[in-house]
């Protein structure tokens, strides 16, 4: 059954065509169920005439599992990676740097990883080659395989989320990356990550546009950007400052996402930007590029400023 938003699309499209108006600019529509205003460009409006439904699209942004699945796919694939991690002082003076090339080999239900070459500068390691920095330790746990790791043939998902420590922090980071807009289990700011809730929607400008992603992939792009008046430090009503998700038009697979998380408060501060890109390998989507640039300062730990990237290639 057509909803009222879809009918408005048709009316707008027809009127624009009859009167020869330029429909290239974005226009606003109130979205009652969503609780906010969505800006929609004319190309997306045209898509509505073949059954495109914005209410379903917003729900798809919230419930998408394809982005997460692409990262799970690397558990069963052999691939190479280039990695670079840089640690900085508060004034952005480089203190340590790590570069490596790695090769993961997957055989059946097991995988191993070899470090083909490694270049380390500064105080990246402690004694016995223990990583000094918390950010680098998280990167290591997320993307490096130590020893031989095997999974059960019946395994369908990750184990239950841990209640504390680094593993909990990694779990919450995954939630922000793969389920943007859901509540994070973080004191004070948890509800502020619910950017689609009625309470948070007033702080954001949302848009759906049509763009060509790299290598000519035609995409719908859903964006959530904090309104300018809420970007100052004194107006820390929000945590997710910007979010852009690229959906491939042919199958609504997420192929890229970039965002900024920023908060200044009494207990902790952070300002983090991330960019993640996928590519298709055979019938599966897999990570191609990941970039992080950020600062965080939390109780009981030294502040860290870091930047890292990984490029994944030579999938088999």
Report DSSP state, residue 267: S
Same domain (yes/no): 47, 86 = no
Same domain (yes/no): 75, 57 = no
Does the structure show a pLDDT above 60 at 18?
A: no
Q: pLDDT tens, 249-259?
A: 888 889 999 99
C-beta of residue 250 within 8 angstroms of C-beta of residue 218: yes
Q: pLDDT tens, 168-211?
A: 666 767 766 777 777 777 666 768 888 888 888 889 888 888 89
DSSP 170-220: HHHHHHHHHSTTSPPS-TTTGGGG-TTSHHHHTTEEEEEEEEEEGGGEEEE
- More confident position, 20 or 304: 304
Top mean pLDDT of 162-171, 220-229, 262-271, 287-296 is at: 287-296
Neighbours of 150 (CB within 10 A): 12
Does the structure show a pLDDT above 60 at 133?
A: yes
pLDDT of residue 7: 30
Distance between CA atoms of residues 285 and 271, nearest Å = 29
C-beta of residue 59 within 8 angstroms of C-beta of residue 228: no
Average pLDDT over residues 84-104: 95
Same domain (yes/no): 58, 71 = no
Side-chain-side CA neighbours of 278 within 13 Å: the count stands at 25
Residue numbers of the domain that contains 88: 67-313
pLDDT of residue 4: 37
Domain termination residue (choose one: 63, 96, 113): 63
Percentage of the chain beyond pLDDT 90 is 35
DSSP 286-303: EEEEEEEEEEEE-TTS--
Q: pLDDT tens, 263-284?
A: 887 777 889 999 999 999 999 9
Same domain (yes/no): 195, 55 = no
Same domain (yes/no): 241, 265 = yes
Same domain (yes/no): 77, 219 = yes
Structural tokens at position 75: 């558990």
Same domain (yes/no): 58, 160 = no
Average pLDDT over residues 140-157: 80
Q: Alpha-carbon dihedral of residues 221, 230, 171, 126, nearest 10 degrees?
A: 110
Q: Alpha-carbon dihedral of residues 244, 246, 247, 253, nearest 10 degrees?
A: -110
pLDDT of residue 35: 55
Same domain (yes/no): 126, 273 = yes
Cα angle 213, 139, 114; round to 5: 95
Rg (CA), the chain: 22
Same domain (yes/no): 54, 162 = no
Same domain (yes/no): 28, 14 = yes
pLDDT of residue 159: 56
User: Chain-wide mean pLDDT for the chain?
Assistant: 79
Same domain (yes/no): 139, 274 = yes
Average pLDDT over residues 98-125: 96
How does residue 8 score in pLDDT terms, banded at 50, 70 and 90? very low
pLDDT of residue 220: 87
Report DSSP state, residue 186: -
Give pTM, 2 decimals. 0.81
Domain termination residue (choose one: 46, 63, 80): 63
How does residue 36 score in pLDDT terms, banded at 50, 70 and 90? low
Top mean pLDDT of 190-194, 302-306, 308-312 is at: 308-312
Domain termination residue (choose one: 16, 34, 63): 63
Does the structure show a pLDDT above 60 at 11?
A: no
pLDDT of residue 233: 67
Same domain (yes/no): 303, 222 = yes
Percentage of the chain beyond pLDDT 70 is 72
Structural domain tally of the chain? 2
């Amino acid at each position: 059954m057509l909803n009222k938003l879809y009918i408005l699309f048709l009316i707008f499209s027809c009127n624009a065509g009859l009167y020869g108006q330029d429909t290239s600019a974005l226009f606003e529509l109130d979205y009652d169920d969503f609780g906010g205003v969505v800006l929609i460009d004319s190309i997306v409006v045209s898509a509505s005439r073949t059954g495109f439904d914005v209410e379903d699209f917003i729900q798809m942004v919230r419930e998408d599992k394809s982005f997460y699945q692409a990262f799970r796919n690397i558990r069963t694939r052999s691939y190479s990676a280039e990695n670079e991690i840089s640690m900085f002082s508060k004034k952005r003076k480089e203190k340590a740097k790590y570069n490596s090339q790695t090769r993961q080999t997957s055989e059946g239900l097991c995988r191993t990883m070899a470090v083909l070459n490694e270049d380390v500068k500064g105080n990246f390691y402690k004694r016995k080659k223990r990583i000094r920095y918390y950010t680098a330790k998280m990167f290591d746990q997320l993307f490096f395989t130590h020893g031989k790791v095997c999974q059960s043939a019946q395994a369908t998902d990750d184990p239950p989320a841990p209640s504390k420590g680094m593993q909990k922090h990694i779990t919450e980071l995954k939630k922000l990356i793969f389920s943007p807009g859901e509540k994070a289990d973080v004191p004070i700011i948890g509800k502020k990550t619910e950017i689609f809730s009625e309470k948070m929607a007033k702080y954001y400008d949302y848009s759906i546009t049509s763009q060509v992603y790299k290598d000519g992939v035609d995409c719908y792009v859903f964006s959530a950007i904090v309104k300018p008046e809420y970007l100052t430090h004194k107006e820390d009503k929000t945590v997710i400052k910007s979010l852009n998700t690229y959906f491939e038009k042919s199958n609504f697979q997420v192929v890229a996402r970039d965002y900024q998380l920023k908060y200044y408060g009494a207990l902790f501060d952070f300002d983090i930007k991330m960019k993640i890109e996928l590519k298709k390998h055979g019938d599966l989507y897999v990570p191609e590029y990941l970039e992080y640039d950020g600062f965080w300062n939390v109780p009981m730990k030294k502040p860290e400023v870091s930047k890292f990237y990984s490029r994944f290639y030579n999938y088999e």
